[in-house]
Amino acid sequence: MNRVNRPMLRSDRRDSGGAGLFGRQLFIAALFLFAAGVQASVDPPRGTLHGAVTSVHPDWFKQSFLDIAEDVAEAAEADKHVMLFMYINGCPYCHKMVEENLKHAPYTAFVKEHFDVIALNILGDREIALNEETSLTEKALANKLRVRYTPTIVFLDQQNKTVARINGYRSVEDFKHVLDYVQQKAYRSTSLADYIDRAKTAVYRFRVHPQLLEAKDLESLTDRPLAVLFEDRGCGDCAALHDGHLSDPAVNALLRGFNFVRLDAQSTDAIVDPDGNATTPRDYARSLGLTYRPGLVLFDRGKEIARIESLLYRFHFTELLRYVGERHYVQYPKSFFDYLNVRTAELLDAGQDVNVGE
């Protein structure tokens, strides 16, 4: 009886040990599942980037061999100008410019008649011959020209010299002023800023904003960063700025970190600029090379850090304010976009969606 029962007992012990091991495995697996659940709750799903769109350039853009001097000579024979359209893939402003100002503008036929448009990717590696002495890649050319916004559009005269440049998107109406300036060869007798001022009509009545300061001595505003807003009565986009970005609580929260001042870019009243020079708003805007209204120039510790001289969507607008107002430029001094790339990655990693196109 005992001999019969003994193996059954050993078998029972083996079963018991197996059950214990299996139980421990279940317990460990449960721990892993629990840990994974905790990790999932700590690390949310990565956010999504929206709004990046790549332009499809029209087939009437010039298929250049990238010998710019030769392109200029060919354009001159037809009494045309060369327009270098400098873009980057995924740029919503480039796409908007191509669609609204070039492909489907009320003056598309005018552009095709008077300009040879050459597209250059500012991150590209194609070799460009600017003249007999200078050859470099698209990327190197963008660095040489200090391209900071896309699209950047450079207009060349019939001697291969730059006669006009715009940085970033311009409205259909504003861009036509630039096209007329170049096509009429007005650069021979006047600046682009003067030409645009004369071409515009009064369409804007200055808006109030609770954070705007009345100040004539900009040099004295040193307790925090300085934001100088340039507007004028011919500004077609100023009302939209106030109704849009300047009515956004997030933007206004960032502006509280600035001394926020508006100047009438056509005014001849006496002011002192941030460098301590006696000047007028009109002369100061021209000394800065501003040809777009509204223009926003951001200073800190007496030095210009960044500027907005074209349409910016909300994400880029707010982040540029943050870059200067929170002094991220100290950590990322070479470029706002060095900061922006890090900031975008942080937001996406935190599970927040980012829209660069609205």
pLDDT for residue 10: 38
How many residues are given for the chain? 358
**Six token digits for residue 277:** 């020079």
Token look-up 């060919």 returns 74
Average pLDDT score over the chain: 90
Judge contact between 230 and 297, C-beta under 8 A. Answer: yes
Pairing of strands 49-50, 354-355: parallel
Could you read off the pLDDT of 210-237 as tens digits, one per residue? 999 999 999 999 999 999 999 999 999 9
Q: What's the CATH superfamily of 212-355?
A: Glutaredoxin (3.40.30.10)
Judge contact between 195 and 186, C-beta under 8 A. Answer: yes
pLDDT for residue 32: 42
Burial class (CB in 10 A: 0-12, 13-18, 19+), 78: exposed
Rounded to whole angstroms, the Cα distance separating 151 from 168 reads 5
Identical fold between 68-199 and 212-355: yes
User: What's the number of CA atoms in the CB half-sphere (13 Å) around residue 185?
Assistant: 9
Could you read off the pLDDT of 144-198 as tens digits, one per residue? 999 988 999 999 999 999 999 999 999 999 999 999 999 999 999 999 999 999 9
Q: At what angle do helices 192-199 and 172-183 cross, to 10 degrees?
A: 120
**Six token digits for residue 178:** 């630039």
Judge contact between 201 and 232, C-beta under 8 A. Answer: no
Judge contact between 67 and 129, C-beta under 8 A. Answer: yes
User: Is 43 strand, coil or helix?
Assistant: coil
Rounded to whole angstroms, the Cα distance separating 289 from 286 reads 5
The set of residues, in sequence order, having a beta carbon less than 8 Å from that of 152 and lying 6+ positions away, is 86, 122, 142, 145, 165, 166, 167, 168
Rounded to whole angstroms, the Cα distance separating 191 from 343 reads 38
> Domain spans of the chain?
68-199, 212-355
The band of 132, judged by pLDDT with boundaries at 50, 70 and 90, is confident
- Helices and strands, counts by H and E, the chain: 12, 15
Helix H segments across 129-280?
138-144, 172-183, 192-199, 238-243, 249-255
pLDDT for residue 152: 97
Could you read off the pLDDT of 68-126 as tens digits, one per residue? 999 999 999 999 999 999 999 999 999 999 999 999 999 999 999 999 999 999 999 99
The band of 4, judged by pLDDT with boundaries at 50, 70 and 90, is very low
Q: At what angle do helices 314-325 and 336-349 cross, to 10 degrees?
A: 110
Q: Which CATH architecture has domain 68-199?
A: 3-Layer(aba) Sandwich (3.40)
Phi and psi at residue 208, to the nearest 5°: -90, 155
The band of 42, judged by pLDDT with boundaries at 50, 70 and 90, is low
The set of residues, in sequence order, having a beta carbon less than 8 Å from that of 325 and lying 6+ positions away, is 225, 254, 255, 257, 258, 298
Pairing of strands 152-156, 135-137: unpaired
Pick from 305, 287, 285, 303: nearest CA to 295? 285
User: Is 262 strand, coil or helix?
Assistant: strand
Whether the predicted pLDDT of 43 surpasses 90: no
Rounded to whole angstroms, the Cα distance separating 311 from 294 reads 9
CA dihedral defined by 228, 233, 239, 242, rounded to 10 degrees? 20
Judge contact between 225 and 300, C-beta under 8 A. Answer: yes
